[in-house]
Amino acid sequence: MKVWRKLSGDRLQRDLATEVDEVLKTETTQHRIKVCIGTDSQVKGDITEFATAIVFLREGRGGFIFLNKYRSKRVFSLKERMLHEVSDSIETAYLLCPTFDKYHVEMEVHADINTDPQFQSNIAFKEAMGYILGMGYTFKAKPDAFASTYCANKVVK
């Protein structure tokens, strides 16, 4: 079971879909909301830590984040790890998509993958882009993928 938290560290009291529904019920009456979902990972010895961030942006009024973090003892190749990050983000987006549709909230999936072929993470760029776009989601990669590159990254660092 995934444990979702607020940026403050406070655990969400209900399941993620219910929490997001309650938040959007209130927020969409006051602000135009956009949601960005991204995952990052960090290898620490024989453990890989993954963190997924759901970033709620209030147009012109800041935002807030829900986070999930977990560890895996599985050994990943770089490409596998990049695609696992994307898979985590898509899994979260898929769960929440009906709620986003209900409140007419725009959503993007962010991949911590560099568009520049000189960087190692680019090895998974085409597959990640195809996976995200194939699911019907808006795709963003570095340097525009702040949900994964900055928000989720701060949790696994």
Q: Check: pTM over 0.75? Answer yes or no.
A: yes
Residue 98 confidence class, pLDDT cut points 50, 70, 90: very high
Share of the chain above pLDDT 90, in %: 85
| Residue 147 CA: distances (Å) to CA of 8, 29, 46, 74, 152 | 17, 24, 25, 24, 6
Percent of the chain with pLDDT over 70: 99
Range of the domain at 8: 4-156
CA–CA dist 138, 50 (Å, integer): 22
What total of structural domains would you count in the chain?
A: 1
Confidence of residue 1 (pLDDT cuts 50, 70, 90): low
| CATH code where residue 49 lies | 3.30.420
| Tokens linked to 156 | 């696994």
Per-residue pLDDT, averaged over 95-112, amounts to: 97
Distance of CA 6 to the CA centre of its chain: 14
- Quick count: other Cβ atoms within 10 Å of Cβ 70? 13
* Mean pLDDT of the region 68-85: 95
Give the mean pLDDT of the chain. Answer: 94
